[in-house]
Amino acid sequence: MNEPDREIVDDAPSSPSRPGVPSDNTTLTAVLDEIEADGYTSSFVVRPDAELMCTTCRETVSAARLDPALTRRLEGASDPSDELWVVAAACPNCEAHGSVVLGFGPEASEDDALVVAALDTDAL
């Protein structure tokens, strides 16, 4: 399966009248559907201590070992604390392509915050 090019898309609120500027019109469902259409059909579940469990092989892996291929950030226009980060990557154990939805910012759970901090997104 071919992996898509690495991409970060920031869908933070902005003026919808400015072309090329992300808006809050993108839903989480639309983002997940897009990622699934790109071949990321599995998922990861957040576990304590910055770990993720692959739902295909059921193995747990440190978030630092994940190599994110694509990320999408979503923020709510009406409620800025609605901050989500969708990450797509291949499982380092079984190579299943999956995604995980993480909270970030002040309302994020401790487990999500640890995963976000551990993910290597420098190459994105």
pLDDT in tens, 74-123: 886 666 667 899 999 999 999 999 999 999 888 899 999 999 999 987 75
Half-sphere exposure of 92 (CA within 13 A, CB side): 12
32 Cβ partners below 8 Å, 6+ apart?
A: 86, 99, 101
Residue 51 CA to residue 44 CA, distance in Å, equals 10
Predicted TM-score (pTM) of this structure: 0.76
Whether the Cβ atoms of residue 55 and residue 44 lie closer than 8 Å to each other: yes
Domain ranges of the chain: 7-118
| Three-state DSSP state, 69 | strand
CA distances (Å), 32 to each of 48, 88, 93, 122, in order? 23, 9, 22, 23
- Report the C-alpha gap between 106 and 83 in whole angstroms: 9
Please write the tens of the pLDDT for every residue from 27-69: 899 999 999 999 999 999 999 999 999 999 999 999 999 999 9
